[in-house]
Structure 1
Amino acid sequence: MQRTPRTRTPRRRGPGGLLALLIAAGAALTGCADYRLEPPTEVLAQVEFPYDAAFARAQHEVPDSRPFSLGLRGADRAVPVWYGRVVTPDGTVHEVRMDAVRGRVLGASVPAGQSASAKSRAAALTAHAKLLPSEAVKKVKEPDFGKVTQIELTDGRTDGTGDAAVWRITVAALRRDDLRTYRVDAVTGEVLSGDVGGPAATPTVAPPSTALPTLPTASPPAPPTAPPRTPAPYRPSP
């Protein structure tokens, strides 16, 4: 004899069960709100090879050189690239390109267009700088500092005092998701200014402001024009 299955009637939740559901839902919503208030744990997570290691690698590739500028390109890509420039004692600028994830050297070159005055200026700037880039960065570190995306040695102070060497540092901030730019005296270590820029969700750094002049591109010569053809004299057919 087969038994007829009994249908189970749903149990009604009392006030206590409804209250528990409301508390659980409220906790879930509160957790979502708290998540938005929490700062991110890392900015530019794909950049595992930091700026100071990149400068050291560039100097290793060019012996007897001093740091001059460093910029991050393609920060929104899986493998960003560091463009580091170092200066040898004669003022020649060398550029070293490095993988910003593992630090592999991608190539090195001497930028074209380095005139005698440009070399003299680069040699003077690096000779005046007493602070290393990492020492200048320590002067402006904050709790939500983030990561350096660009640092370059520029001409002196805007107030006309001090020696002509200033580190210009650009940072992708951690908490506010923006770019911050600082100017630090490369001789005394005094912080001269600090500005907040635009969003840094994908900060692709522009070329350094101390970019070297490039040689003008010569236009190719015009192809020679063929002389006009002289028509053959008319000869009547026999």
Structure 2
Amino acid sequence: MPQVARHLTLRELERRYKKAKDPVEKTRFQAVYHAAKGLSAKEIARITLQTPRWVHATVRRYNLLGPEALQDGRHSNPGARPKLTPEETLRVLQALEGPPPDGGLWTGPKEIARITLQTPRWVHATVRRYNLLGPEALQDGRHSNPGARPKLTPEETLRVLQALEGPPPDGGLWTGPKLQRWVAEHLGKRLSLNPIYRLLHEAGFALRVPRPVHRKAEREAQEAFKKNSAKRWRRPGQRGEG
């Protein structure tokens, strides 16, 4: 828990907390007051019906900007009405203390990440983006800002895909470095491995590597090959050394 800045004394914080009429301002001063008393973020979150992260953010806000920063700025800029009333929010928090009606676990960022094949961090970032900037922020900005030019032209990409349909020049399997050399030799472009792998992924290719061979199995195969070769190439009438 960060140390509370001494903008106000403990008694002044208590007075502002108890006399505040606005519920948002009252809750914020209440959190800072208890933080100044030495309570932990979890304890304050339980008292204020908020989260530990909210407690930390409120104390940082107070430390940086002073007591005026704890006022509810929506009075001067109300914006949209809250989706839930304080009473409804309290009911939601109480419901979250128990299991969902159908059992199991409450669906959260992890479940959304599993459904969307993304990460929980991506889910949090997307929701914050929507909350701050609105629905327009969810559009793909690359349509209006294409960014850097592609590393390969469509014609060069087609040549790469055609080359991947056959074996590499030195045989074996295609690897990132092999394809990197092929592009440099045939297309005259020096690419890092990232665009090489990205191209393969987008085209549906997967680079394969030979399966590792255990040293013992490799030695046994070599000995078997020697014995079979000796039998195969032994001249008629020639006996093995004994």
Q: Which has the higher contact order (CA 8 A, sep 6+)?
A: 1
Compare the two structures and name the one with the higher helix fraction.
Answer: 2
Compare the two structures and name the one with the higher strand fraction.
Answer: 1
Q: TM-score, length-normalised on structure 1? A: 0.20
Q: TM-score, length-normalised on structure 2? A: 0.19
Greater C-alpha radius of gyration: 2
